[in-house]
Amino acid sequence: MELPLLKEVVIILGLSVLIILAFQKLKMPAILGFLITGMIAGPNGLKLIAASHEVEVLSEMGIIFLLFIIGIEFSIKGLVKIKQTVLLGGFLQVSGTIGLTFLVAWLLGLSIQEAVFMGFLISMSSTAIVLKLLNERGQMTTPHGRIALAILIFQDIIVVPMILVTPLLAGNGGNVWLILLMLLGKFTLIIGLLIVLARYAVPLLLDRVVKTRSRELFILTIVVICFATAWLTSSVGLSLALGAFFAGLIISESDYSHQATANILPFREIFISFFFVSVGMLLDVRYFLNNFLILILFTLGVILLKSFVILISIMIMRYPLRTALISAFTLFQVGEFAFLLSTIGMRNNVLSHEVHQNFLAISVLTMGLTPFMAGYATNMADWLIRALLPTNIRKRLINFQNKRKKPEESLISKLRDHLIVIGFGINGHNVARTAKQAGIPFVIVELDPAIFHQAKIDELPVVFGDAADELILNHVHAAEARVVVIAISDPEATKQIIFNLRQITETAHIIVRTRYVDEIESTLQQGADEVIPEEFETSIQIFIRVLSRYLVPSDKIQSLASHIRAHNYELLSKTNIENEFPSHLQPQIPDMVFVALPVQRETNKIVGKSIIDSRLKSEFNVTVLAIRRGRRYITQITPDMTIEPDDMLYLFGSPQKISELNRYFLIEGGD
């Protein structure tokens, strides 16, 4: 018996492997490989895939998993912080794109209804592609990453009224205001329900599930929460993707969000590939080839139009020009929800077949261009700023963005021999707080309006602006600074900042925080003095704790850590270090260990017994050094002292004896 859809799955995944292998050799993005797979295997290509509808269902699951993980990593608090960007930025982008597209389409000869509907379609960007790219590059927390997420959230919400309005454009609708009012009521009810779930129900449920120590049950629970929330929002007319994002926000409030992400990632990677393949399947290759030039012109027009609207929208919110340009080069494409809208438009005769094919070609082309333009967004933004804007105009833009937000000029003018902290995230905040306590003069440079505003409330010396612009660096007197700490998540912006700093000062000591050790060499070559990779610093901190558990002296541990840092983490990045590791730093591991053993089960045979009767010393040669009882620590241990339930025993002995003791407790505790 043949399993339905199995052939299509094998064809899609097998062909994707071959194409993406070739693309990796050419250093081209995998997303483009999936799109081409769909074009080749789809009904308009070699017709290898018959069950196209089933493939679309699988692609929907990919979007659900993608938005679910983004929601987990973002958190409700993070969403509240960007609420203004969601509402104002999203509204400006969508309404501006609809208005400008309507005007152009109407001038090109489309009817009023068709021109409005084209505005709906062009205003949608690709949640799946943009968030995947930002996630892979670690740019979700950058200003342009937060802007992209905010605008995409607004688009996911506004697509519902667009779906309701579409039949009205064809004259087939009912009372749209009544429908919208009911939808708003349902949306408010769901938000209230999700808040209750996030605060109370889900953390309690996950706590119970985790206590079972069943990995299968944990994964099942996470998947059920994800799909149940998506189904709930879908049932009231909202999108599945928005529901999945809400589900991720719910999980983000629990203590188990990181494990949930780790368990869901494999599902996301598999199913999201079906989404990109399904997009490629929609394109009619013959129509595309026959109308190649006109479609290229239309595509360029859409990119320019949408980028212009996004640029203006973000500039209105007082973000720096560079951030606005990078955001425009990231969100210019036509997205997946536009495909859903176009299907409804075709069903209601709002869209002709020819216009629909033009739209599909434009969508696939813009999606295919997204990885390239997003990858070079920072370089293009920097080039445009320098090529098109004279210095005096850039100064006016900076003054406009800092209007009513500047620190006192007297504070800035007095900065000498000071510390500059670029980026006021967790790392930047910690550096600034430590500098304040140490009495070191410092100034913060931040381009996120919400973070800037909070720093002003906390009465910290902060300047609003993009440190990649030399005008901002001059404003904070970078030439007179002793130390500059760059603590942002954008590696391209970091390199541009270092380059501009070295044009201003050769004496400032530049310390850079990076995510990965692979970025160390290029960052040092750019002009940084020290590069601290989170990747290996975390490893060092873990290994310090490992060595301390093996009773290695603290001075030897610190010497080892200092040696690793002094050699740019080479000892951690190389696979063969036997001949390079200094012999005097080789840790001598003693054959003894400290352990903390909780006495949790009243069935355990040592409960109620004295230390001597517990046989810990006589049978296992393990010494009780201390007991924690409630909030008290008992360090004067006597042989006749009684072991009570919920005690914490601090033991000292050989690893072999501790292992035997552990097995003894497990066996006896289960009796």
Measured CA distances, 157 to 81, 154, 160, 241, 339 (Å): 18, 5, 6, 10, 16
The full DSSP string for 332-364 is -S--HHHHHHHHHHHHTTSS-HHHHHHHHHHHH
Which single residue is written with the structure tokens 């404003």?
Answer: 475
Residue tagged 């080789």 (tokens): 586
**pLDDT lower than 50: segments of the chain:** 404-410, 575-577, 579, 602-603, 669-671
pTM over 0.85: no
Q: Provide the pLDDT for residue 579.
A: 46
Of the candidates 536, 472, 484, which has an alpha carbon nearest to the alpha carbon of residue 510? 484
Q: Which helix (H) or strand (E) holds 627?
A: strand 623-629
Dump the DSSP string for 99-150.
HHHHHHHHHTT--HHHHHHHHHHHH---HHHHHHHHHHTT-TTSHHHHHHHH
The Cα 91–Cα 104 span in angstroms is 20
Q: How far apart are CA 423 and CA 434, in angstroms?
A: 15
Tokens 């009243």 label which residue?
602
CA gap 579, 572 in Å, rounded: 14
Q: For the chain, give the longest Cα–Cα distance.
A: 97
Q: How many CB atoms lie within 10 A of CB 287?
A: 17
| Domain(s) of CATH 3.40.50.720: residues in the chain | 392-528
Three-class SS of 214-282: CHHHHHHHHHHHHHHHHHHHHHCCCCHHHHHHHHHHHHHCCCCHHHHHHHHHHHHHHHHHHHHHHHHHH
**CB 249, CB 11: distance < 8 Å:** no
Q: List 533's β-bridge partners, or say none.
A: 514
Count Cα neighbours of 329 within 13 Å in the Cβ-side half-sphere.
Answer: 19
User: How far is C-alpha 219 from the geometric centre of its chain's CA atoms?
Assistant: 21
Q: Which residue has the tokens 């910690």?
A: 430
Q: How many CB atoms lie within 10 A of CB 213?
A: 8
Domain with CATH 1.20.1530.20 in the chain: 6-46+60-384
For residue 409, the model assigns a pLDDT of 47
Written as six digits, the tokens of 261 are: 């992400």
Compute CA 519 distance to the chain's CA centroid, rounded to the nearest angstrom: 19
Give the pair of three-digit tokens for residue 481. Answer: 């600074």
Give the count of beta carbons closer than 10 Å to the beta carbon of residue 518: 12
Per-residue pLDDT at 638: 86
pLDDT the model gives residue 429: 86
* Exposed / middle / buried, residue 670 (Cβ in 10 Å: 0-12, 13-18, 19+): exposed
Strand, helix or coil at 46?
Answer: coil
Nearest-5° angle of CA 443, CA 449, CA 453? 65
**pLDDT score for 408:** 42
Which pLDDT score, from 0 to 100, does residue 78 have? 65
Give domain 593-669's CATH architecture: 2-Layer Sandwich (3.30)
The DSSP 8-state label assigned to residue 425 in this structure reads S
* Short-list 553, 637, 548, CA closest to 593: 548
CATH of 392-528, one of 3.20.20.70, 1.10.10.10, 3.40.50.720, 3.30.450.40: 3.40.50.720
Domain at 6-46+60-384, CATH from 2.60.120.10, 3.40.50.1010, 1.20.1530.20, 1.10.10.10: 1.20.1530.20
Residue the block writes with tokens 């320098």: 386
Report how far residue 159's alpha carbon sits from residue 580's, in angstroms, rounded to the nearest whole number: 60
Q: Are 508 and 478 in contact (CB under 8 A)?
A: yes
Q: Residue 188's Cα: distance from chain center in Å?
A: 27
Residue 233 in contact with residue 190, Cβ under 8 Å?
yes
Domain with CATH 3.30.70.1450 in the chain: 593-669
pLDDT value, residue 3: 63
List the Cα angle 624/598/623 in 5-degree steps: 10
Q: What is the rounded CA–CA span in Å between residue 670 and residue 668? A: 5
pLDDT at position 175 is 64
Q: What's residue 211's pLDDT?
A: 77
